[in-house]
């Protein structure tokens, strides 16, 4: 079987992490039976992605952030490319499908932005969201298989579609690298937590609701808890950073908050390992990779309950309304000052993170990449023998 992976829309680090993580694991499992072609923009390379030899790439024009041009190019040019490379299945991370393709389409849904109220603030954003919601309804009904990266995402699609009949679907979580798990285990044994330290890791955009965490920090200081906050990650909106910096100044928290911007993976791991609590009160999150990474390093989570974080974070944290700063402050207070409580959530966080490995998370996709698996509900895969049987089934189905 030849799987064609359209990676043109996977522009963010988190989007590439999810898409390439699944493809890498599938390629390893099926190296002797299946092949993969990944479509990337001109100038991009997959050479550093650690793919096996059954994965190749081809290039499309560079569209940048112009999603309209990219969509038109895909509609006009991609059908002929699929014929030339003799693709058997099209796998896309857009959460949408196209009408003109003759092969089965598997669509990975991981972008909740257009379906969350309050995310769109301009006419252009509202127009884009309206177009996306219509495209999501089409995929929800007609995809050969929809993949949702959380139950939260499936619920959003279902609400957006209303009474429209649903296509075959699966909930497929995403993993973090084995190397990260192994490093986290070593650092948990060798690295001391910094007392009263709070960490936020994300691409800082307005919907990440950093202002709630800063306000909560002020409440902790009013209770004489000397908490500190590290805001780690790039800022998608310069004006939003200025807003947060002004808030920090107004609340007289300049000595308690550091803003690092983008950091190296080594620095990020150090932040995870030394923080006592990870806090993100996002209004729009389809999964929450940084929260899982923090948990792997033994850092409990205080997160938002209006997105996927409670589903993903499990028993390794507290989850509240992103507007309830008093409840957020109470949970942070408890974790920062109650050592036995912190220890119990520390252990729960580590245990919860262990399920998010690619070898576990990607298993359902082995069923999906066979013609029979696209339209039927197949049993879950367990041990290596069952995985090998699924690979042999998909290979024999193609040959027949």
Report pLDDT digits (tens) over 379-392.
555 666 656 665 55
What is the arithmetic mean of pLDDT over 300-311?
A: 97
For the segment 78-129, what is each residue's pLDDT rounded down to a tens digit? 999 999 999 999 999 999 998 878 899 999 999 999 999 889 989 999 999 9
- Is the pLDDT score of 185 beyond 60? yes
What is the arithmetic mean of pLDDT over 351-364?
A: 95
- 14 and 150: one domain? yes
What is the arithmetic mean of pLDDT over 286-309?
A: 97
- Is the pLDDT score of 370 beyond 80? no
- 22 and 47: one domain? yes
- Is the pLDDT score of 323 beyond 50? yes
- 154 and 278: one domain? no
Query: According to the per-residue pLDDT averaged within each range, which of 7-11, 124-128, 218-222 is highest?
Result: 218-222
CA 77 to chain centre: 29
**Measured distance CA(291)–CA(17) in Å, rounded:** 15
Burial 135-152 (b: 16+ CB within 10 A, else e): bbbbbbeebbbbbbbbeb
- 24 and 152: one domain? yes
Full-model pTM: 0.90
**Measured distance CA(171)–CA(146) in Å, rounded:** 9
Which phi and psi (to 5°) does residue 138 adopt? -65, -45
Q: Calculate the alpha carbon distances from 357 to 71, 147, 259, 388 in Å.
A: 32, 17, 30, 18
Q: Answer for the pair 100, 79: CB distance below 8 angstroms, yes or no.
A: yes
- 182 and 169: one domain? no
What is the arithmetic mean of pLDDT over 308-328?
A: 97
- 158 and 15: one domain? yes
For the segment 229-281, what is each residue's pLDDT rounded down to a tens digit? 999 999 999 999 999 999 999 999 999 999 999 999 999 999 999 999 999 99
Torsion sign across C-alpha atoms 152, 153, 156, 157: negative
pLDDT on residue 66:
87
pLDDT on residue 398:
43
The CB density around residue 16, as the number of other CB atoms within 10 Å, is: 17
- Is the pLDDT score of 338 beyond 70? yes
**Measured distance CA(67)–CA(77) in Å, rounded:** 15
Structure tokens at 81: 């490319």
- 234 and 150: one domain? no
pLDDT on residue 181:
97
- Is the pLDDT score of 192 beyond 90? yes
- Is the pLDDT score of 62 beyond 60? yes
**Measured distance CA(196)–CA(227) in Å, rounded:** 5
- 121 by Cβ neighbours in 10 Å (0-12 / 13-18 / 19+) ranks as exposed
- 124 and 192: one domain? no
- 155 by Cβ neighbours in 10 Å (0-12 / 13-18 / 19+) ranks as middle
Torsion sign across C-alpha atoms 387, 389, 395, 400: negative
Q: Domain tally for the chain?
A: 2
**Measured distance CA(98)–CA(79) in Å, rounded:** 10
- Is the pLDDT score of 397 beyond 50? no
- 102 and 182: one domain? no
pLDDT on residue 380:
59
Torsion sign across C-alpha atoms 258, 259, 263, 268: positive
Q: Calculate the alpha carbon distances from 135 to 72, 92, 143, 303 in Å.
A: 14, 13, 11, 30
Nearest to 200 by CA among 179, 223, 216: 216
The CB density around residue 183, as the number of other CB atoms within 10 Å, is: 18
Of the residues 353, 370, 385, the one at which a domain ends: 353
What angle (nearest 5°) sits at the alpha carbon of residue 301, between those of residues 300 and 307?
155
Residue 30: domain span: 2-175+357-399
Of the residues 318, 335, 353, the one at which a domain ends: 353
- 46 and 23: one domain? yes
| More confident of the two residues 390 and 1 | 1
Q: Calculate the alpha carbon distances from 257 to 41, 198, 203, 302 in Å.
A: 38, 9, 17, 18
pLDDT on residue 382:
61
- Average pLDDT of the residues of the chain: 91
- 383 and 330: one domain? no
Percentage of the chain surpassing pLDDT 70?
92
Which H or E run contains 15? helix 13-29
- Is the pLDDT score of 52 beyond 90? yes
CATH code of the domain covering residue 281: 3.40.50.2000
- 341 and 291: one domain? yes
What is the arithmetic mean of pLDDT over 281-302?
A: 96
């Amino acid at each position: 079987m030849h799987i064609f992976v359209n990676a043109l829309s996977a522009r963010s680090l988190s989007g590439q992490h999810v898409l390439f993580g699944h493809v890498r694991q599938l390629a390893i499992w099926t190296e002797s039976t299946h092949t993969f072609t990944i479509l990337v923009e001109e100038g991009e390379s997959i050479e550093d992605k650690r793919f096996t030899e059954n994965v190749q790439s081809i290039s499309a024009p560079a569209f940048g952030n112009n999603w309209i041009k990219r969509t038109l190019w895909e509609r006009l040019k991609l059908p002929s490319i699929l014929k030339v490379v003799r693709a058997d299945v099209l796998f896309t991370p857009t959460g949408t499908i196209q009408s003109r393709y003759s092969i089965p389409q598997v669509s990975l849904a991981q972008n909740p932005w257009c379906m969350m109220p309050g995310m769109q603030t301009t006419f252009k954003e509202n127009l884009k969201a309206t177009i996306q919601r219509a495209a999501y309804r089409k995929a929800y009904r007609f995809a050969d298989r929809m993949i949702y990266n959380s139950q939260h995402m499936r619920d959003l699609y279902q609400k957006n579609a209303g009474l429209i009949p649903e296509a075959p679907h699966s909930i497929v979580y995403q993993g973090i690298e084995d190397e990260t798990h192994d490093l986290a285990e070593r650092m948990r044994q060798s690295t001391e937590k910094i007392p009263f330290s709070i960490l936020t890791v994300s691409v800082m955009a307005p919907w990440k609701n950093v202002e709630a965490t800063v306000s909560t920090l002020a409440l902790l200081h009013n209770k004489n808890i000397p908490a500190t906050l590290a805001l780690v990650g790039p800022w998608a909106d310069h004006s939003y950073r200025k807003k947060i910096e002004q808030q920090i100044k107004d609340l007289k928290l300049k000595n308690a908050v550091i803003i690092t911007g983008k950091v190296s993976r080594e620095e990020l791991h150090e932040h995870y390992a030394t923080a006592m609590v990870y806090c993100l009160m996002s209004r729009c999150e389809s999964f929450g990779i940084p929260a899982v990474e923090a948990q792997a390093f033994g850092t409990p989570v205080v997160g938002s309950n209006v997105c996927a974080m409670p589903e993903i974070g499990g028993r390794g944290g507290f989850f509240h309304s992103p507007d309830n700063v008093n409840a957020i402050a109470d949970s942070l207070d408890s974790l920062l000052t109650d050592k036995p409580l912190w220890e119990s959530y520390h252990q729960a966080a580590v245990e919860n993170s262990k399920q998010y490995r690619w070898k576990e998370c990607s298993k359902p996709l082995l069923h999906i990449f066979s013609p029979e698996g696209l339209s039927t509900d197949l049993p879950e895969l367990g041990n290596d023998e069952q995985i090998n049987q699924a690979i042999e089934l998909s290979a024999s189905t193609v040959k027949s």
